[in-house]
A = this chain, B = another copy of it.
């Protein structure tokens, strides 16, 4: 993702383009591990020492409001941010607390069909969250 495209994404949703927003958005798109606000802060503060942790929280939240990011909450109640917007599920490692995307078209289709063909007792479902939880297997040494 190039800088011009990020600028476009930010301005297109009515947000002012700032250096902080650029840096934070970039950190998210580069990360594979669905970082927390704290982790984003740690990632960027080396090259942006004057940035405030409150700005990171605020910016991530405004990106979520604008639909540029998604937010989930992990086992420990910590907010985690996801730059992938299309329907997908997640893998969660109970040991490392790492969250990774799990992309499987068949599964998403299955779930979408399930929502459409079932009744949810007076609920209008607009989102489905699937998390596969477990442990990353140790790599066996041959």
A residues apposed to B, CB below 8 Å:
73-79, 91, 93, 100, 102, 104, 107, 110, 114-115, 118, 120-137, 139
Across the interface, A91 reaches (CB within 8 A) one of B75, B123, B133, namely B123
Residue in B closest to A111 when the chains form the complex, CB atoms? B130
A132 lies within 8 A of B128 (CB): yes
Tell me whether A133 and B127 are in contact in the complex, defined as CB-CB below 8 angstroms, given that A79-B77, A107-B114 are known contacts. Answer: yes
DSSP class of A's interface residues: helix, strand, loop or mixed? strand
Chain B residues near A124 (CB-CB < 8 A): 134-137
A126 lies within 8 A of B122 (CB): no
A130 lies within 8 A of B129 (CB): yes
Chain B residues near A118 (CB-CB < 8 A): 104
Across the interface, A135 reaches (CB within 8 A) one of B110, B114, B126, namely B126
Chain B residues near A131 (CB-CB < 8 A): 128-129
A123 lies within 8 A of B137 (CB): yes
Tell me whether A126 and B134 are in contact in the complex, defined as CB-CB below 8 angstroms, given that A78-B77, A110-B110 are known contacts. Answer: yes
